[in-house]
């Protein structure tokens, strides 16, 4: 019971990691190569619930996983990200992970580099992928009917087709906090194959999708209407060669900017879509709110029709802002968004508090953001909120220091305490420190006077925190991780 209570307070990734490591106490841990010479041999000797723990090295293997196992590098037990790049499974041009249909259980894959496969992962059953890198494959992940799961904190780079390919009917699928770049087709490709059954749900959230050779995200429709809901939120979609978000139909994947009028509901809100050839290209049942569409070479929005809704967006410096948009456009502005190089709104940006948390049409509530999901009087427009409101923090480049040598915070990651040492910059006045959580809420003001202080942190839940350093009217942020 105590474990379950603590899980409710933890961010999603740390909740999943805690569950996985807790399960290790019940299943066997099979170590490669100390116990088994190959990963394949360890999988064959395993039972559902076991963990295959893989030492650093290059493994030339093609793995079929039919049991609910956890497969990980030493990242699982250490949280040391260096093991991701040092633990490589090379498919030698064949699929690296094949996850066939099974009756129950989920495969967990953590902390691996998966490369040189026909597919990095070809899945017909649910699985979770965390903190891994997939590169030089055809598709990074090929989700087939019956699959789904959580895909979080991964990178998909330099694959020969799509970074992530979603086909068929999926279970609940969450694609969050990934870096998806330099793939030779789409960053994410989604095919809406015919389907009857309970409503399938997929959320694509808080990813950076950039420099892919076709679309950032592409939806491909088929003749029958299917029971699905796709939510695309908080993504930075930039510098893709074709469309930021492209809609095709008739099963056609080669982007030709037809901007198809897809009838399935697709909710796209609080994204920054920048410097693509087209911004949003298509939609027949599109809910498009709080989005920032800038610097599109052709048009910011093309061929939005049917039951679609466009509201509380900002379009700026596109070739043209709207092309063949046949639905009303509400409360949309065309001012300079005033962003910094990290796509964060600067002071005075019209994006700040420019969005909406609620949108109703007649008696129906089409959109409602919970109050705790944003700061200020309203959500900002775009993927990243103004820093002083608590989102998208501009953090120190150093893992140890704030503003060079002035203040040092250690250890990081931390567990039971943090220690702060140092002094304000020469000549500065009114320096202060605050500890805030990842939602921007104040936890405590630290009684810092330029001497060394220790702050006990045993009561804090695992997750991300920030030291907010206020000095001479300016705010600086330093990211900390509680294990």
Residue 1 exposed, middle or buried by CB count within 10 Å (0-12, 13-18, 19+): exposed
Residue 167 burial (CB count, 10 A) = 17
Asked whether residue 388 is domain-assigned, the answer is no
pLDDT for 346 equals: 86
Q: Are residues 48 and 151 in the same domain?
A: yes
- Is it the case that residue 2 has pLDDT exceeding 60? no
> Hey, what are 39's tokens?
């990963």
26 compared with 161, residue with greater pLDDT: 161
Asked whether residue 363 is domain-assigned, the answer is no
* 381: Cα within 13 Å, side-chain hemisphere: 31
State pLDDT tens for residues 251-305: 999 999 999 999 999 999 999 999 999 999 999 999 999 999 999 999 999 999 9
Q: 249 and 260 in contact (C-beta within 8 Å)?
A: yes
Q: Which residues span the domain enclosing 113?
A: 11-323
> Hey, what are 184's tokens?
């030779």
> Hey, what are 424's tokens?
């304000």
Strand, coil or helix: 37: coil
Q: 190 and 213 in contact (C-beta within 8 Å)?
A: no
Q: 145 and 170 in contact (C-beta within 8 Å)?
A: yes
Number of domains within the chain: 2
Q: Are residues 306 and 440 in the same domain?
A: no
Asked whether residue 432 is domain-assigned, the answer is yes
State pLDDT tens for residues 425-447: 544 555 678 887 755 678 888 76
pLDDT for 459 equals: 87
ω into 413 cis (within 30 of 0): yes
Q: Are residues 64 and 153 in the same domain?
A: yes
Q: Are residues 405 and 317 in the same domain?
A: no
- Is it the case that residue 383 has pLDDT exceeding 50? yes
ω into 273 cis (within 30 of 0): no
- Is it the case that residue 154 has pLDDT exceeding 90? yes
- Is it the case that residue 215 has pLDDT exceeding 60? yes
Please give the average per-residue pLDDT across 212-217, as a whole number.
98
Q: Are residues 121 and 227 in the same domain?
A: yes
- C-alpha 229/C-alpha 231 separation (Å) is 7
Tell which of 323, 347, 381 closes a domain.
Answer: 323
Please give the average per-residue pLDDT across 124-136, as a whole number.
97
Tell which of 290, 305, 323 closes a domain.
Answer: 323
Q: Are residues 16 and 155 in the same domain?
A: yes
Radius of gyration of the chain (CA): 23
| E strands, 348-391, in order | 358-361, 364-368
Asked whether residue 93 is domain-assigned, the answer is yes
pLDDT for 331 equals: 87
Q: Are residues 69 and 195 in the same domain?
A: yes
State pLDDT tens for residues 59-92: 999 999 999 999 999 999 999 999 999 999 999 9
State pLDDT tens for residues 322-381: 999 989 898 888 989 989 888 999 888 889 889 999 999 888 899 999 888 888 888 999
Asked whether residue 17 is domain-assigned, the answer is yes
Q: Which is nearest to 188 in space by CA: 117, 140, 120, 250?
A: 140
417 compared with 304, residue with greater pLDDT: 304
Mean pLDDT in the chain?
86
- C-alpha 404/C-alpha 121 separation (Å) is 42
Q: Which is nearest to 268 in space by CA: 155, 392, 359?
A: 359
pLDDT for 20 equals: 64
Please give the average per-residue pLDDT across 113-124, as a whole number.
97
Asked whether residue 379 is domain-assigned, the answer is no
* pLDDT level of residue 405 (50, 70, 90 thresholds): very low
Please give the average per-residue pLDDT across 155-161, as a whole number.
98
Q: Are residues 298 and 439 in the same domain?
A: no
DSSP state of 27: S
Distance, CA of 288 to chain centre:
19
- Is it the case that residue 190 has pLDDT exceeding 80? yes
**CA quadruple 428, 432, 437, 441: dihedral positive or negative?**
negative
Asked whether residue 1 is domain-assigned, the answer is no
Q: Are residues 419 and 316 in the same domain?
A: no
Tell which of 291, 323, 355 closes a domain.
Answer: 323
CA-to-CA separations, 214 to 197, 232, 253, 357, in angstroms, rounded: 32, 18, 10, 32
* pLDDT level of residue 38 (50, 70, 90 thresholds): very high
Asked whether residue 156 is domain-assigned, the answer is yes
pLDDT for 10 equals: 47
Q: 448 and 432 in contact (C-beta within 8 Å)?
A: yes
Q: Are residues 308 and 429 in the same domain?
A: no
């Amino acid at each position: 019971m105590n474990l379950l209570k603590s899980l409710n307070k933890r961010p999603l990734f740390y909740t999943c990691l805690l569950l996985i490591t807790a399960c290790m106490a019940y299943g066997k841990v099979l170590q490669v190569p100390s116990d088994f010479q190959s990963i394949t041999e360890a999988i064959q000797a395993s039972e559902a619930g076991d963990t295959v723990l893989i030492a650093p090295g290059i493994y030339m293997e093609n793995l079929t996983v039919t049991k609910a196992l956890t497969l990980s590098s030493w990242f699982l037990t250490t949280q040391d990200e260096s093991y991701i790049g040092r633990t490589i499974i090379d498919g030698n041009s064949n699929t690296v992970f094949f996850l066939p249909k099974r009756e129950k259980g989920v495969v967990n894959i953590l902390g691996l580099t998966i490369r040189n496969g026909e597919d990095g992962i070809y899945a017909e059953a649910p699985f979770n992928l965390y903190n891994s890198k997939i590169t030089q494959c055809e598709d990074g992940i090929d989700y087939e009917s019956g699959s789904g799961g959580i895909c979080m904190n991964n990178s998909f780079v330099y694959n020969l087709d799509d970074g992530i390919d979603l086909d068929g009917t999926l279970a609940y699928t969450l694609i969050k906090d990934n870096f998806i770049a330099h793939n030779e087709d789409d960053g994410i490709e989604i095919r809406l194959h015919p389907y009857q059954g309970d409503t399938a749900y997929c959320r694509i959230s808080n990813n950076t999708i950039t420099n892919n050779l076709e679309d950032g995200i592409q939806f491909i429709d088929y003749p029958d209407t299917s029971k699905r809901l796709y939510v695309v939120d908080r993504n930075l979609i930039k510098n893709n060669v074709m469309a930021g978000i492209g809609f095709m139909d008739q099963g056609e994947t080669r982007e030709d900017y037809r901007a198809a009028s897809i009838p399935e509901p697709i909710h796209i809100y609080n994204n920054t879509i920048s410097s693509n050839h087209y911004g949003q290209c298509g939609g027949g049942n599109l809910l498009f709110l709080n989005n920032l569409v800038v610097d599109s070479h052709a048009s910011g929005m093309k061929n939005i029709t049917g039951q679609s809704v466009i509201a509380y967006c900002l379009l700026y410096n596109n070739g043209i802002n709207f092309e063949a948009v046949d639905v009303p456009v509400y409360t949309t502005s065309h001012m300079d968004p005033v962003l910094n190089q990290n796509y964060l709104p600067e002071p005075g940006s019209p994006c700040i508090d420019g969005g909406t948390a609620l949108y109703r049409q007649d008696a129906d509530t089409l959109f409602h953001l919970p109050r705790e999901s944003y700061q200020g009087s309203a959500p900002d427009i775009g993927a990243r909120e103004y820093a002083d409101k608590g989102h998208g923090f501009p953090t120190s480049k150093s893992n140890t220091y704030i503003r060079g040598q002035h203040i040092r915070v250690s250890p990081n990651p931390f567990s039971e305490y943090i220690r702060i040492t140092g002094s304000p910059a020469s000549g500065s006045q009114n320096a202060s420190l605050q500890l805030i959580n990842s939602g921007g809420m104040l936890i405590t003001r630290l009684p810092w006077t330029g001497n060394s202080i220790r702050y006990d942190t045993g009561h804090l839940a695992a997750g991300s925190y920030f030291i907010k350093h206020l000095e001479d009217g300016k705010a600086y942020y330093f990211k900390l991780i509680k294990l």
